[in-house]
Amino acid sequence: MELPPKANALRRFILVGLLLAVSPQVPADQAPRAPASAVAGGYLTPPAPLQALVDAPRPPQLSISPHRDLLALTQTPALPGIDVVAQPELKLAGLRINPRTYAQSRFVFGTDLWLMDVGTGKEIRLTGLPKPLSIATSAWSPDQRYLAFNQVDARAGTNELWIVDVAARSARRLISLPLNTVAGRGYRWMPDGKQLLVQLQPQGQGAAPVASIIPTGPDTQQTQAGAGVKAIRTYQDMLRNEDDAKLFEYYLRSQSALVDLDGKVTPLGEPALTTSIEPSPDGRYLLRQRVERPFSYLVPVDSFPQRIEVLDRDGKLVREIAHLPLVEGLPTGNDAVPTGVRDIDWRADAPATLVWAEAQDGGDPARKADIRDIVQMQAAPFDQAPVTLARLGSRYAGAYWANGSLALVDEFWWKTRHVKEWRVSPDQPAQAPVLVREGSSEDRYRDPGKPATMPDEHGESRLVVTADGQSIYRLGQGASPEGDRPFIDRVNLVSGQSTRLFQSKAPYFEDPHVLLDAEGKRALISRESPNEPTNYYVRDLAADGKLRELTHFPNPLPQLKGVTKEQIRYKRKDGVELTATLYLPPNYNPKKDGPRPMLMWAYPAEFKSADAAGQVRDSPYRFNRISYWGPQAFLTMGYTVLDNFAVPIVGEGNKEPNDTYIPQLVASAEAAVDEVVRRGVADRNRIAVGGHSYGAFMTANLLAHTRLFKAGIARSGAYNRTLTPFGFQSEERNYWQATDVYNAMSPFNYAGDIKDALLMIHGEQDNNSGTFPIQSERMYAAIKGLGGTARLVLLPNEAHAYRARESIMQMLAEMNSWLETYVKQAKPADKAAVTH
C-alpha cells in the first residue's frame, strides 16, 4: 500500500517521536526467544546437519592454459577461522588492506595446486610448492611454459611471487622482494613470456605513518552553488582525514619493475600511486594509470584525480594520454559517466594501439544527443591525433578484437535496456560500421551468446574466427520456457546465418566454457544433473558428439542425494508470468506427509517489460547444490524451500519500476504463497521469507505490508532509503526527485506495521554501498520501540558477505532457532485454509 505525501510525513513525525521516547516493555509472551547458549556469550553452533554443510569439501577451481591442453586446479580450502578474518585491516578510499602483507584483504587461498593433461585426463603433481600453500591468484605465461602465482601468508606477513616450471613439474620462489597487491594482482606476464611486470613494496620508505593523537585542526569540506546536480552514492570505507590520506598513500605506493625468469629485478622509474599498469601486445610500451591528490572524503579511489600515461620499457614517460580531475558525483541516471578518457585499454590485435571511449553529451543522459560516445584509437608513437573508430548512440560497452578487418563493438543504454553490436574494421575506421545485432539486455530468450575468444601468442584475448574469415563462434545460456539450455553456435557475420554446433539436452545441464581449438571442433564443458555434481568434460562438436570425462569430483553431501527439485511456473494477478525453484527434503511425499513449514527466499529485479520479467531463469537439470549460504540449507531440518521466487518490478515504457514497487512486491509474494499452498507442500500459517542485501530489504517490506509470513530473515539489508538519497539498486532518481517513492519503499517508515518476527543479521564491517550496519541497528530500534518482535545479530569483523566459519555457524544457528520458534512451532492452518 502507498500513502500520500502528507500521510507519509505524519507517519515519520510520529515514528521519530516514538523512537525518542523510552522503549515500552514487551510482554513476556511476545518476547523473542533467544538460543539458550546466547546468554553465556560466545559463538553458537547449529544442529549437526547444518554443521555438515559448512564443513563439506568444496571442489577445486580450474584455469585452462593458453594452448587449451592443460588445466591448473587450485584446491578451495575450508572456511577460515575468525582468528584469520579478525587480522588487522585498513579501510581506506574504498579499499580493504591487510597492512601485514600490503595486499587486498582476502581470506580464501588455494591450499593445493596441480595440473591436468586435457588430452589424457592425467593428473600432474608438482614439487617445490611452499608449505603451507596459500595461493591468492595465478596466471599462465603466454607460451604456457610457466604458471605464476601469488603466495600470501597473512600470519607471516609475506606476499611472494612464485612460478611453476611446467616441463620440470616444479615450483620455485622467483624473487625475495615482496609484492604490493593493494591495487590488483601485482604481477602480469610480458607478451614474450620471458619477464613479468610486477608491483613491489617500495624499499626504504620507512614505517607506516601513525595517526596524530592531538588534532592539528578540523577536517573541512566545501561546495558551492553552480556546480549542477551530482549524484553521489553512499560509499563505505572512505578517507576521513589527513591521517587516513597519508596511510592510503603509504600502502598504495608501489615500485614497478621487470623480473626475468632468473630472478633479476629491473626497477622502472620511481614509486608511484599506481592503480594499473599493462604492457602493449608487442611489449614495447606500458600503459600506467596512477592517482594523485587532492583526494576525496566522499568517493573511492577510482574517482580520484588520475593520470593516464604511456611509458617505455625503461619506465620513462613517452606520452600523457589524459589528466583526469576528481569526480565527486555524476549527473543523475544510471547512464551517466565521467567526461574525458574512459575505459582505456590496448587494442589486442595491434602491436601498440590504445583504445578508449569519450562521452559526447557531457556524460549526462538527460542531455539530448545523437552521439553519446565516441571510441578513439591512438597508435604508437602516440604523437598523432586519435582516430575515431565508432560513433555510438548510447554508451560504449567494450570490444572484441580479431584482426585489422574485424572487431565487434558493443553499446548499451540502461534506461531502455537497449543493446547493439557493431562490426567494424579497425585498420579502416572510415568504413561504415555494420549492425550485427540489437535488442534488449533483458530478453534472455533471444540472447545470441558471447563471442568465443582465445589467447594469442602474446596472451591477448582474440576472437576465434573461422579459416575463411567469415564466421565467429558464440557461447550462450540458451534461455527458453523449458529453462536454460546452453549452446555453441557458428555465426556467419556476412549472411547472419547461425549453425548450432551443440546444445545441452535433458536430463543433463551442460555448460560450454571455452573452445579447445580454433576450428571449433572441441569444447571444455561442465556437466551436471540434479543428482550428479558438476564435473568437467571434453565434448567433440562433430556429429557423433563424443564426451570424455576429465574430473571426478564426488557429491560433497551424499546424505542429501534424495532432495528433489522442480522449476515451477505460475502467474501474478496482473498476468505476469513468474518462476521459482521448489526444493523438497529427502523422503518427503506431500500427498502422504501433508504440507510442511516452508522457507521462501528471493531477490527482486527491475524490468522494462512484463514479457522479459516472465522469462524462465535457471535450469531444472542443475545439480541440487545445497550450500550453507542459501535457503536450501534448511532442507536438512525438514523444511520445504522455495528459492529465487520471482519478484519482478516492472516499469514499461516511460514508467519507472519503483513507482509501484510495493503493490508488485506484494502481488509476487501472494502468488508464490498461493502456488506452494495449492501444491500441498507448504502450510499457509507456517511460512517464512528471507533474503540477503536487497532481498533483506524485500523481506522487511513484506512483513510491513502483509501478514503472509510468520517470520522474516533479513541479512545485510538497508531499510531507510533516505540514507541512500542519490539512488539505490537500479533506482536512478534521487530522493528529492522521487520523495514519495523513497518513503513508500522504506520499511523503516512502516516499522509499526511489522507484526511478525523479524531476524536481522549484519556484518558489523559491511563494505557494500548503501547497506551500512546502522541500517539494521535503526530498524531494530524502531521495531523494539514500537513493541514488535525482532532480533539483531551483528557479526564481528564481517563485511557484506560473511567469511569466518564461526560467523557462518552463528548465522545458521540464529536462522534455525528463529524458524523453529516462529514458524515450525506456529499453529498449523486448518484444512479449510489450505487452498486460497
Contact predicate 109/79, CB 8 Å = no
Distance from C-alpha of 237 to C-alpha of 255, rounded to nearest angstrom: 25
C-alpha cell at 141: 605465461
The residues assigned a catalytic role are 693, 766, 800
E-state strands within 644-681: 648-650
Displacement of CA 627 from its chain's centroid (Å):
18
Tell me the mean pLDDT per 10 residues along the chain, length 836: 37 34 35 43 93 95 97 95 93 96 90 96 97 96 98 93 98 98 96 98 93 82 74 90 96 98 97 98 98 96 98 97 96 96 98 98 96 98 97 98 98 97 97 96 96 97 95 97 96 94 96 95 96 96 88 92 94 96 95 97 96 93 93 97 97 94 98 98 98 98 98 98 94 95 98 98 95 97 97 97 97 98 91 48
Distance from C-alpha of 513 to C-alpha of 180, rounded to nearest angstrom: 32
Scan for cell 516514538, then name that residue.
18
From the list 104, 100, 80, 79, the residue with the least C-alpha distance to 88 is 100
Q: Where are the alpha helices (DSSP H) in 484-613?
A: 590-593, 610-613
The whole-number pLDDT of residue 70 equals 98
The whole-number pLDDT of residue 95 equals 97
Distance from C-alpha of 599 to C-alpha of 582, rounded to nearest angstrom: 10
Distance from C-alpha of 474 to C-alpha of 453, rounded to nearest angstrom: 9
Task: Give CA angle at 829 (827, 830), nearest 5°.
Answer: 115
3-state helix, strand, coil in the chain (%, to 5): 20, 35, 50
The whole-number pLDDT of residue 831 equals 64
Contact predicate 782/751, CB 8 Å = yes
The whole-number pLDDT of residue 38 equals 44
Pairing between β-strand 790-795 and β-strand 757-763 as defined by DSSP bridges:
parallel
The whole-number pLDDT of residue 226 equals 67
Q: Helix count (H) and strand count (E) of the chain?
A: 11, 47
Task: Give CA angle at 440 (438, 442), nearest 5°.
Answer: 150
The whole-number pLDDT of residue 219 equals 80
Contact predicate 386/310, CB 8 Å = no
**Helix or strand holding residue 487 (H, E):** strand 487-492
Distance from C-alpha of 397 to C-alpha of 433, rounded to nearest angstrom: 16
The fold adopted by the segment(s) 44-52+563-827 is Rossmann fold (3.40.50)
C-alpha cell at 269: 622509474
